[in-house]
Amino acid sequence: MSPDAIRRPAPAPGTVRTEQVWKRFRADQQRMLLRDRVDAAVRRLRGGRGEDWRWALRDISLRIEPGESVGLIGSNGSGKSTLLKMLTRVMYPYAGVIDVRGRIGALIEIRAGIHPDLTGRENIYLFGALLGLRRTEVAGRFDDIVEFARLGGAIDRQVKFYSSGMQMRLGFAVAAYLEPHVLLVDEVLAVGDAVFQQRCLDRMREVLEQGTTLVFVSHDLPAVESICARGIWLEQGAIRVDAGIREAMAGYRDSIEAQSEAGARTGEPVRLVGHEVRGEERENLTTDEPMTVELTLAGDYRGDATLHLGVSEGTASPIFQLSHEVRLAGGDHRLACVIPRLPLPRGRYTLWAGLYGIGRTDGGTLMSWHSVGQFDVFGPLLDTPPRAVVLAAPVFVPHQWEE
């Protein structure tokens, strides 16, 4: 028998595969990338069609195995939600192949898969039927869905009378409890309250333990890092990094910091022209020991202002932030902030700063919030709990145990 006659086994349920996927939209002129504008201009010069297109995805090839947890990260407009919608077959590619095996549970929009004229109960059974489940199978999970969504008596009310939060809870519960082979979750969880968000994260960990494949899109990087083992960083519609979640996160965070540092601050009244981060007697920074941050500001501005200083693990949301009122008299202004006991475990951190005028009527920004630089801390590592149990807290607090 020739090799061509041997059929390869079909991919297992839960497998996600894309090959050379491209997707384009008719462009909003104000959002087109420069290279897209140039391409369109060249086509017109060559006598081609004058239509302008914006490429949302460019040559996306990836394979996700059953049971993998993958986080899609990237800035707004990078193509994350577009890729997720194509995996659900809500959209189709301009070119390339998309193959998702097995039942798909998806929450990509608040009302995705929910019919407003049907009741919550009817929507649950309809969704189950679309997944190919028998009515008895859906009935066996019905109570869990209603309890998770916390709909109570509203389950027999038409969904069009639900609040957006109720619709989102129903949509996630249906997607996550009808045992899909692949669960796709977009940023829509951000509309829920903190308690429900945590319950959703816990449920996603449960379905991962059951062997479900998870693709998670979110700007909440700590949540993505706590759930996903693999990260795919999209930038301008292309895969920039496909690696372990920590490596992908590190690359994305470094990019954010580089963009912040390179951001133009011309026209701002005050500039940060120098800084130094040091430990005790200029030694290395160490957990639970003193840390000093010295800053030098320059500019012609005269008046009172508030300086905000923050420390983060990469994004602009600080682990902690300190504020101080200063009086600027023009020229250089030096000041220092001393933290007697640094509450950070071993690792690399980013220093952020911003300066805002007091009593100004123009919005108050004297120096916009931006990344100043990075520094390393030596000391103990936090014990990281199993990924499916709980989020790791980022701040080290000295403590002791007694029994």
Question: Are 167 and 173 within 8 A, CB to CB?
Answer: no
Question: Are 66 and 181 within 8 A, CB to CB?
Answer: yes
How far apart are alpha carbons 151 and 155 in whole angstroms?
Answer: 6
Confidence (pLDDT) at 58: 93
How far apart are alpha carbons 317 and 337 in whole angstroms?
Answer: 20
Give pLDDT tens digits for 94-118.
999 999 999 888 887 766 668 889 9
How far apart are alpha carbons 142 and 108 in whole angstroms?
Answer: 22
Confidence (pLDDT) at 386: 56
How far apart are alpha carbons 270 and 85 in whole angstroms?
Answer: 44
DSSP assigned state of 5: G
User: What's the CATH superfamily of 16-257?
Assistant: P-loop containing nucleotide triphosphate hydrolases (3.40.50.300)
CATH of 267-377, one of 2.70.50.60, 3.40.50.300, 1.10.10.10, 2.130.10.10: 2.70.50.60
For the cut 60, the answer to whether the pLDDT of residue 88 exceeds it is: yes
How far apart are alpha carbons 391 and 229 in whole angstroms?
Answer: 14
Domain range list for the chain = 16-257, 267-377
Confidence (pLDDT) at 120: 92
Instruction: Return the structure tokens found at 192.
Output: 């829920």
Per-residue pLDDT, averaged over 276-296, amounts to 89
For the cut 50, the answer to whether the pLDDT of residue 14 exceeds it is: yes
Percent over 90 (pLDDT), the chain: 38
Exposed/middle/buried for 35, CB within 10 Å: 0-12, 13-18, 19+?
exposed
Give pLDDT tens digits for 208-261.
999 999 999 988 887 888 889 999 999 999 999 999 998 898 888 878 766 666
How far apart are alpha carbons 126 and 145 in whole angstroms?
Answer: 14
Give pLDDT tens digits for 189-208.
666 677 788 888 888 888 89
